[in-house]
Amino acid sequence: MQQGRLPICLDNRVLRHHGVVAGATGSGKSNVNSNIVRAAINMGYCVFLFDHKPDYQNLDKPNDEKNLFSDINWQPQGFDCKLCYFSLSDDKSGKANKNETLINVYASSFDPYQLASALFYKRGEELQQENMTLLLSAYKDDQEERQKYTWTLADAVKWIRQLTKEQMSNVLGGGSITDKSMSSMLRKLQARTMPWMDRILTYNNAQLPGLSIPKQALAPEINVSGLIEEKTINIIRVGQSQGRDYGLFLSFLLDRVYKAKASNADLPPIVYVIDEAQDIFSGSKQLREACEDMLDANMRKGRSLNIAFWFGLQKFSALPDSITININSRIIMTHKQVDEAKNALPGASQELLSMVTGLKPGESLMSLFGSNSIVQGKMHPSKALLTKE
Ligand SMILES: Nc1ncnc2c1ncn2[C@@H]1O[C@H](COP(=O)(O)OP(=O)(O)O)[C@@H](O)[C@H]1O
Ligand SMILES: [Mg+2]
């Protein structure tokens, strides 16, 4: 093992390839992620930062853990680039940035199969999922014939409810469904709607005092290509959303970003920083596999368009194999057990690997793209403030 101190920098070559920052809670992942975001911003990237805890709601402010900076050449400093805060959840968390925009996506923006799979994802719901795919596809076709491309899940349910027995049988390819299963299916669907889908906004029309009638209208859909700007961080607070709808939103975002990049070569490079990514892979088997396939495909095709993925994980072993094979750089912080870090550093001796249980906050074993050695490093803390518990 070579000893000595040398600075390691996250240059563009490392950054534009995919990476993982893995470590137990408190190991310093969020601080590293903040540094990755800073490196990307300095190189003109557009960053999409998924914020679970939340950790990144005050990035314009300097880090207040001043003691961490006493013997290093590195100062606390908030980001002075463009920061845009969004939220999937409408939990009104007190920790949320007060300028956050609630995200809205129309049900019509999804493929019927994708939507039905996210709604009926439990074991034993395969038939409901199949029926819902057929019903939503039929509804989508019906609307497209009328040149109507924007609709909500509630619109679709209304249409499904008014189908005659004969129409229903046609849609289901000759099959039939009892009234009881139909209402059970629609009841589940209503209980599982996502807060960020088909949002209704209430406008208070207060022009006539005492006579104001609140007006309700469908919120506009988020314009993803408009978010892709150089030196901009789009922070997306996930809040209480579950892995299920988080995965569905990811597939929407990744698809829109990819299309925008593919059709406009002038757009800046992109980094996705997906912290606490184990949540995406924790759903039912079917859902997990759908997310894996979606990410795998996006990681492969993203490379040529300068779209990189960086995942934050509580343990490296939470990363599915199909994603691991796409990863080029690994920053491994302290793990509770050596076993959780196995496969993280291919080629590492057992002796080296066993160090992962003794690393201090900010310390890591790294294998970065373009280098064939594993180094032990101490990362600088985040310059920007991280939201506290
Ligand atoms: N690079 C670092 N150098 C020194 N201390 C650090 C460093 N990174 C993190 N810490 C300490 O560890 C704490 C937890 O860091 P955090 O990044 O939130 O961990 P995680 O995201 O893994 O839970 C910080 O509040 C800080 O006190
Ligand atoms: Mg964290």
Between the CA of 379 and the centroid of ligand 1 the distance, in Å, is: 10
Residue 362 in any domain: the answer is: yes
pLDDT tens series, the chain, 389 aa: 566 667 777 899 999 999 999 999 999 999 999 999 999 999 999 999 999 889 999 999 999 999 999 989 999 999 999 999 999 998 889 999 999 999 999 999 999 999 998 999 888 999 999 999 999 999 999 999 999 999 999 999 999 999 999 999 999 998 888 999 999 999 999 989 899 999 998 887 656 666 677 788 999 999 999 999 999 999 999 987 666 788 899 999 999 999 999 999 999 999 999 999 988 887 777 778 888 999 999 999 999 999 999 999 999 999 999 999 999 999 999 999 999 998 999 889 999 999 999 999 999 999 999 988 899 999 999 999 999 86
Ligand 1 binding pocket (C-beta < 6 A) is 23, 25-31, 65, 68, 361-362, 379-381, 386
Q: Which protein residue's CA is at the shortest distance from atom 15 of ligand 1?
A: 28
Which numbered ligand comes closest to the C-alpha of 29? 1
Q: Do 127 and 245 belong together in one domain? A: no
Å from CA of 273 to ligand 2 middle: 12
**Which ligand 1 atom is at minimum distance from the Cα of 55?**
18
Ligand closest to the CA atom of residue 381: 1
Q: Give a yes or no: residue 2 inside a domain.
A: no
5 belongs to a structural domain: no
User: Residue 205 domain-assigned?
Assistant: no
Rounded CA-CA distance 333/346 in Å is 15
Is residue 94 domain-shared with residue 227, that is, in the same domain? Answer: yes
Q: Which residue has the tokens 């196995």?
A: 342
CA angle 314, 278, 335 (to 5 degrees): 15
Q: What is the whole-number distance in angstroms between the Cα of residue 103 and the centre of ligand 2?
A: 23
CA distance 161 to 182: 9
Which atom of ligand 1 is nearest the CA belonging to 378?
1
Residue nearest to atom 7 of ligand 1 (CA): 362
- Ligand lying closest to the C-alpha of residue 25: 1
**CATH code of the domain covering residue 226:** 3.40.50.300
Phi, psi of 179 (to 5 degrees): -60, -35
Of ligand 1's listed atoms, the one at least distance from the Cα of 68 is: 4
Residues 30 and 129 grouped into a single domain: no
If you measure from the C-alpha of residue 30 to the centroid of ligand 1, how many angstroms do you get, rounded to a whole number?
7
How close is the Cα of 362 to the center of ligand 1, in Å? 6
CA of 25 to the centre of ligand 2 (A): 6
State whether residue 45 is helix, strand or coil. coil
Alpha helices in the chain (DSSP H): 12-15, 29-42, 112-119, 126-145, 153-161, 165-171, 179-191, 243-263, 285-302, 321-324, 350-353
In terms of residue numbers, what domain contains 182?
107-191
Whether residue 142 sits in one domain with residue 73: no
The two beta strands, 363-367 and 329-332, are antiparallel
Residue 385 lies in a domain: no
Domain assignment of residue 127, yes or no? yes
Task: Please name which ligand lies nearest the alpha carbon of 315.
Answer: 1
The secondary structure of residue 254, as a DSSP letter, is H
- Which residues lie closer than 8 Å to 82 by C-beta, 6 or more apart? 229, 231, 232, 233
31, 32, 72, best to mutate for ligand 1 pocket (most atoms within 8 Å of CB): 31
| Per-chain residues with Cβ under 5 A from ion ligand 2 | 29-30
d(CA 51, CA 48): 10
Asked whether 333 and 363 are in contact (CB, 8 A), the reply is: yes
Whether residue 33 is found in the same domain as residue 161: no
Residues 317 and 175 in one domain: no
Pair (92, 145) in one structural domain: no
- 155 and 128 share one domain: yes
Asked whether residue 155 falls in the same domain as residue 228, the answer is no
Strand, coil or helix: 294 = helix
Nearest ligand to the CA of 34 is 1
Rounded distance between C-alpha atoms, residue 201 and residue 221, angstroms: 12
C-alpha separations of 119 from 60, 161, 191, 280 in Å:
37, 18, 9, 15
CA distance 352 to 24: 18
Distance 386 CA to ligand 1 centre (A): 10
Closest atom of ligand 1 to 34 CA is 17
**10 Å Cβ neighbour count for 100?**
20
Q: What is the pLDDT of residue 215?
A: 84
**In this structure, which long-range contacts are made by residues 220-227, counting pairs with CB atoms below 8 Å and at least 24 apart in sequence?**
220/104, 221/104, 221/105, 221/106, 221/109, 221/150, 222/86, 222/101, 222/103, 222/104, 222/105, 224/253, 224/256, 224/257, 224/260, 225/256, 225/257, 225/259, 225/260, 225/264, 227/46, 227/48, 227/84
- Residue owning the nearest CA to atom 16 of ligand 1: 28
Same domain, yes or no: 235 and 94: yes
Indicate the DSSP class of residue 250: H
Atom of ligand 1 nearest to the CA of 381: 1
Nearest ligand to the CA atom of 22? 1
- Number of domains forming the structure of the chain: 2
Same domain, 93 and 117: no
Q: For residue 25, how far is its CA from the centre of ligand 1 (angstroms)?
A: 9
Ligand 2 centroid, distance to 74 Cα (angstroms): 21
Q: At what angle do helices 285-302 and 112-119 cross, to 10 degrees?
A: 140
Domain membership of residue 383 (yes or no) is no
Distance CA 97, CA 93 (A): 9
How many C-beta atoms surround the C-beta of residue 138 within 10 A?
20
Count the neighbouring beta carbons within 10 Å of the beta carbon of residue 1. Answer: 9
Position 132 in a domain: yes
Instruction: Identify the bridge partners of residue 22 per DSSP, sorted by sequence position.
Output: 313, 332
Give pLDDT, residue 209. 64
Residues 132, 177, single domain; the answer is yes
* Cα 353 to middle of ligand 1, angstroms: 21
